[in-house]
């Protein structure tokens, strides 16, 4: 099992979700996060004083899936989330040791 | 808000203008004949008052012309009073919107307290201290308003022998004004002042200080005697509040983290621009009552002129503040445009009945430019005013009063206007400075650093304004 963590632009969430659903992926966790990469922040102004917004709003999608689905899933996320402009985000993949479905006590790939 | 006789004076001013022909433009030509007739009627009214045609309420109510006119006049003052009341909701929204969400309960609580306390102390002391009748011109002792009138006093207080409105209408209209001055201070000291000490200071200001400088002009005191003019209170209400706020902020100090070392200003963002905008629009609505009611009758010519000048000045202020911020700050700042609308309204308040519409536009436009520059100037001096109250009410209140000496149609003296607005401003500043210094020495004035960071809602009230909006991640 693998976990994909994808940090994407907020307005791309629908497209990424649909692309993953098309692959048969049945669940995901989404959070509103803030951060910066090479894009850095931007400057805003309020009543005559400038200030920098360092952390920009992003969406983090977390999906745990079987090894077999990994390649197509990451490809689908990258394709759906890409605008070609700076700030598109990143995808991280890491191994998952165990998964348990609380309702049924199922474990492993059965549970994801 | 004039003394009773002054509505006649302003009528005369318009008539004088009409007769003088000094500015014979097509623009004014339409106003002139109407104003002339009104002035003549007004003179006839005075003669009638000298020899009353009635001695009982029943006889007054039976008069075919006077009684319906009195009803209309009185009704307009009452509607105006209600409009001025709504301005307190406007102030509440502006202050709340331009401050952080963690101080919302505290700001609204202060607004509730001020309007309740302001009207009640005005009934107990202020009304009679501000309108004492014959007095030394500087200071009068207050007393509670009448609770009822004996049979013989009713005609004198509840018919047009009193004014174009009843004693009760007079009181409630003035009472709605009274709390405004302290509300202005409340905005400037928001987000760091201790609740209890603020309540004491606000009460002292509204109950004692506001009626003193008010009596100088509207009570027929020394400023009135020297020919000073302030139609609805650019100085007596707004500059008073603005300079009282300036003194309070100097004693209190800026919010934590606003001014960084090296002269950098770190803006502290308001949490709801929609609320701030709602507040300004409500204040604009209320201003039709604030200025329109200050005609002190439903005189068709004057009330219409006052509505027109008031609105045009407010709009010009908004537009010019918006463009000034766009040019000076490179971006069109919404909060500055909102401040600008209020600045224009404050600016025209002293001369809404005596400055003609296109000059009102100029007065409002200059107020709009001034307010942006003033906000930036006070930030340079590290005088932290979250809502821009000192700039809007103090600086533009001064400007509006002076503008009467420049644009006012009638016998106005620029020097007298400057003396008057300076006197009221200095009095408000000194009185407020002494009050806040004493209260600071006895009770302390600022909340602890810890409480300021955590917010005054929890610190002072143990409540939150938006408990259901807490992000899941912070639970």
Alpha-carbon Rg for chain A, nearest whole angstrom, is 17
Angle, CA of B180, B181 and B186, to the nearest 5°: 90
Q: Over 60: is that where the pLDDT of B5 sits?
A: no
Q: For A84-93, how does the pLDDT look when each residue is reduced to its tens digit (9 = 90+)?
A: 999 999 999 9
Q: Over 90: is that where the pLDDT of B470 sits?
A: no
Token pair in block for residue B409: 């149609």
Query: Residue B40: pLDDT band by 50, 70, 90 thresholds?
Result: very low
Give the whole-angstrom CA distance, residue A73 versus residue A27: 13
State the DSSP H helix or E strand holding residue B442, giving kind and residue range, or none if neither. Answer: helix B414-443
Under an 8 A CB cutoff, do B267 and A46 touch? Answer: yes
Mean predicted confidence (pLDDT) in A71-91: 95
3-state secondary structure of A4: strand
CA distance A50 to chain B (A): 7
User: What pTM does this model have?
Assistant: 0.85
Q: Over 50: is that where the pLDDT of B115 sits?
A: yes
Mean predicted confidence (pLDDT) in A54-66: 94
DSSP state of A55: S
CA distance A10 to chain B (A): 17
> Of the ranges A30-39, B41-50, B92-101, which one carries the lowest mean pLDDT score?
B41-50
Under an 8 A CB cutoff, do A46 and B336 touch? Answer: no
Distant-in-sequence, close-in-space partners of A105: CB < 8 Å, separation ≥ 6 = none
Q: Over 80: is that where the pLDDT of B7 sits?
A: no
Give the whole-angstrom CA distance, residue B426 versus residue B413: 20
CA distance B385 to chain A (A): 11
Alpha-carbon Rg for chain B, nearest whole angstrom, is 23
Cβ A36 vs Cβ A86: under 8 Å: no
When CB atoms are compared, the residue of B266, B333, B379 closest to A51 is B266
Give the whole-angstrom CA distance, residue B399 versus residue B320: 15
Closest CA in chain A for residue B258: A49
Give the whole-angstrom CA distance, residue B255 versus residue B251: 12
Strands (E) in A36-80, as ranges, are 42-46, 49-53, 56-65
Cβ B115 vs Cβ B183: under 8 Å: yes
Q: For B129-170, how does the pLDDT look when each residue is reduced to its tens digit (9 = 90+)?
A: 999 999 999 999 999 999 999 988 999 999 999 999 999 999
Give the whole-angstrom CA distance, residue B21 versus residue B28: 10
Query: Residue B355: pLDDT band by 50, 70, 90 thresholds?
Result: very high
Half-sphere exposure of B52 (CA within 13 A, CB side): 13
Tell the residue number behind the tokens 């009472």, with chain if given.
Answer: B175
Token pair in block for residue B7: 């509505």
Token pair in block for residue A111: 């549970």
Give the whole-angstrom CA distance, residue B270 versus residue B111: 17
Mutate which: B258, B267, B386, vs A, most A CBs within 10 A: B267
Q: For A92-110, how does the pLDDT look when each residue is reduced to its tens digit (9 = 90+)?
A: 999 999 999 999 999 998 9
Write the ipTM.
0.72
CA B161 to chain centroid: 28
DSSP track, B55-107: SSHHHHHT-TTHHHHHHHHHHHHHHHHHHHHHHHHHHHHHHHHHS-GGGHHHH
Q: Over 60: is that where the pLDDT of B8 sits?
A: no
> Of the ranges A49-58, B200-209, B301-310, B334-343, which one carries the lowest mean pLDDT score?
A49-58
When CB atoms are compared, the residue of B330, B375, B473 closest to A47 is B375
Mutate which: B265, B271, B336, vs A, most A CBs within 10 A: B265
Cβ A60 vs Cβ A14: under 8 Å: no
pLDDT of residue B46: 52
Q: Over 90: is that where the pLDDT of B361 sits?
A: yes
Beta strands A49-53 and A42-46 are antiparallel
Cβ B184 vs Cβ B245: under 8 Å: yes
Percent of chain B clearing pLDDT 70 (strictly above): 88
Mean pLDDT across chain A: 93
Distant-in-sequence, close-in-space partners of B212: CB < 8 Å, separation ≥ 6 = B129, B138, B139, B427, B431
Q: Which chain B residues touch A46 with a CB distance below 8 Å?
A: 267, 269-270, 333, 335
């Amino acid at each position: 099992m693998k976990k994909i963590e994808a940090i994407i632009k907020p307005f791309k969430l629908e497209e990424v979700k649909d692309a993953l659903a098309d692959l048969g992926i049945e669940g995901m966790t989404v959070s509103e996060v803030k951060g910066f990469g090479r894009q850095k922040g931007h400057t805003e102004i309020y009543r005559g004083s400038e200030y920098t917004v360092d952390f920009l709003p992003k969406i983090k999608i977390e999906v745990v899936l079987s090894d077999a689905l990994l390649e197509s899933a990451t490809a689908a996320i990258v394709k759906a989330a890409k605008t070609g402009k700076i700030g598109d985000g990143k995808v991280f993949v890491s191994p998952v040791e165990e998964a348990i479905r609380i309702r049924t006590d199922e474990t492993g790939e059965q549970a994801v | 808000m004039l003394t009773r006789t002054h509505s006649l004076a302003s009528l005369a001013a318009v008539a004088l203008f009409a007769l003088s022909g000094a500015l014979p433009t097509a623009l004014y030509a339409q106003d002139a004949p109407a104003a002339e007739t009104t002035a003549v009627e007004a003179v006839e009214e005075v003669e009638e008052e000298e020899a009353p045609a009635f001695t009982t309420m029943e006889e007054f109510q039976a008069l075919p012309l006077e009684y319906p006119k009195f009803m209309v006049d009185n009704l307009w003052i009452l509607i105006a009073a209600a409009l001025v009341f709504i301005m307190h909701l406007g102030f509440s929204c502006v202050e709340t919107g331009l401050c952080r969400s963690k101080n919302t309960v505290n700001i609204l609580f202060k607004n509730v307290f001020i309007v309740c306390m302001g009207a009640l102390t005005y009934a107990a002391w202020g009304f009679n201290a501000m309108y004492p009748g014959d007095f030394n011109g500087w200071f009068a002792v207050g007393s509670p308003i009448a609770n009822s009138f004996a049979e013989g006093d009713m005609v004198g207080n509840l018919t047009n022998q009193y004014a174009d409105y009843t004693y009760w209408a007079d009181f409630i209209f003035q009472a709605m004004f009274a709390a405004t001055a302290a509300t202005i201070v409340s905005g400037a000291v928001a987000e760091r002042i201790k609740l209890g000490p603020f309540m004491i200071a606000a009460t002292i200001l509204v109950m004692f200080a506001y009626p003193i400088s008010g009596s100088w002009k509207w009570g027929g005191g020394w400023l009135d005697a020297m020919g000073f003019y302030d139609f609805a209170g650019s100085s007596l209400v707004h500059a008073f509040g603005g300079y009282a706020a300036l003194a309070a902020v100097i004693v209190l100090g800026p919010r934590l983290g606003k001014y960084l070392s090296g002269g950098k200003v770190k803006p502290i963002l308001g949490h709801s621009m929609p609320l701030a905008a709602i507040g300004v629009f409500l204040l604009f609505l209320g201003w039709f009552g604030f200025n329109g009611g200050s005609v002190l009758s439903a005189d068709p010519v004057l009330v219409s002129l006052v509505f027109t000048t008031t609105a045009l000045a407010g709009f010009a202020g908004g537009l010019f503040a918006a463009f000034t911020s766009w040019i000076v700050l490179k971006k069109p700042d919404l909060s500055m445009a909102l401040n600008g609308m209020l600045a224009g309204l404050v600016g025209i308040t002293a001369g809404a009945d005596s400055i003609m519409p296109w000059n009102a536009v100029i007065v409002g436009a200059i107020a709009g430019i001034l307010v942006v520059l003033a906000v930036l100037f006070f930030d340079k001096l590290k005088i932290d005013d979250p809502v821009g109250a000192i700039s809007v009410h103090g600086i533009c209140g001064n400007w509006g009063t002076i503008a009467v000496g420049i644009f006012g149609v009638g016998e106005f003296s620029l020097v007298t206007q400057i003396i008057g607005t300076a006197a009221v401003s200095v009095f408000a500043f000194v009185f407020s400075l002494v009050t806040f210094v004493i209260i600071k020495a006895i009770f302390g004035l600022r909340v602890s650093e810890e409480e300021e960071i955590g917010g005054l809602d929890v610190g002072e009230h143990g409540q939150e304004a938006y408990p259901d909006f807490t992000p899941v991640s912070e639970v």
